[in-house]
Amino acid sequence: MLGIIAGGSFSPEGMKVAEKQKMETPFGEPSDHFTIGRDMIFLPRHGPDRIPPHRINHRANIYALKKLGVTKVVGVNSVGSLKEELAPGSIVIPHDYLSPWEILTFYEHQAVHITPVLDAGLRERLIRAASESGVNVANEGIYIQTIGPRLETKAEIAMLRGFGDVVGMTMAHEATLCQEVGVAYASICSVDNYCHGIIDTPLTAEEITQRAGENAATINKIVIQVMEEME
């Protein structure tokens, strides 16, 4: 069973919906109802009330997906670009991630050490699906997670651009929690803006929202192709 976690601009077009379900977990309520199909479960990470990134209940989301039988999760993540050559409108399948700040865990009271990775097989499936759908993607990149909800300062971006390719606020939590419960995780990153200071043009929230909507249709092609492979 494949799980898809995405932001507000993405919807699972082409998914054969069987039911919608709400769940309780030991960590509270997930972000929203789960849209359940034959081979896929979709969850909007920000829910109907536009939960800000620092308030998302990632532990409830991942716990519930695991309980529903999900074995693989694809995160659709909106990101800013740290590289001039990686323009808004690009799609990145990251191969690694970095978060020097606090990362959520299921193991608050015991030392359980995982070695964090993005699943190679699931990444390859996404890259292959993009190729078969005629979508150009960057086949690798390093995702850096910041805390949010504010965007980063120019000084922060100047530091981070030496360590990664894109910046977001959600993926490292999801990837780590999935690995803690034995669920494979990979990400499709929608590059929706240049980070603060990468170019001279001022960054606006309206620009980010508009670009995310434009990229959603492209990302949906990749997701549909993955779904068809699983049938």
Is 80 strand, coil or helix? strand
Q: Six-digit token pair at 149?
A: 């909800």
Nearest to 46 by CA among 19, 92, 10, 1: 10
The per-residue pLDDT for 14 is 66
Average pLDDT over residues 37-62: 93
Ranking 99-103, 119-123, 167-171 by mean pLDDT, the lowest is: 99-103
Round to whole Å and give the CA distance between 52 and 39. Answer: 29
By DSSP bridging, strand 184-194 and strand 96-98 are unpaired
Is 64 strand, coil or helix? helix
Is residue 145 predicted with pLDDT exceeding 80? yes
Find the angle CA(1)-CA(223)-CA(92) to the nearest 5 degrees: 115
Q: Taking the mean position of all CA atoms in its chain, how far away is CA 95?
A: 13
Round to whole Å and give the CA distance between 160 and 107. Answer: 28
Is residue 231 predicted with pLDDT exceeding 90? no
H-run or E-run covering 191: strand 184-194
- 9-34 pLDDT, tens digit per residue, is 777 776 677 788 889 999 999 999 99
Provide DSSP, 3-16: EEEE-TT---TT--
Round to whole Å and give the CA distance between 73 and 183. Answer: 7
Nearest to 15 by CA among 41, 33, 46: 41
Q: What is the DSSP letter of 68?
A: T
Q: What percent of the chain has pLDDT over 70?
A: 98
Which residues form the domain of 17? 2-230
Q: What is the mean pLDDT of the chain?
A: 92
By DSSP bridging, strand 72-81 and strand 17-21 are unpaired
The per-residue pLDDT for 170 is 96
CB of 218 within 8 A of CB of 15? no
CATH number at residue 69: 3.40.50.1580
Number of domains into which the chain is organized: 1
Round to whole Å and give the CA distance between 169 and 188. Answer: 14
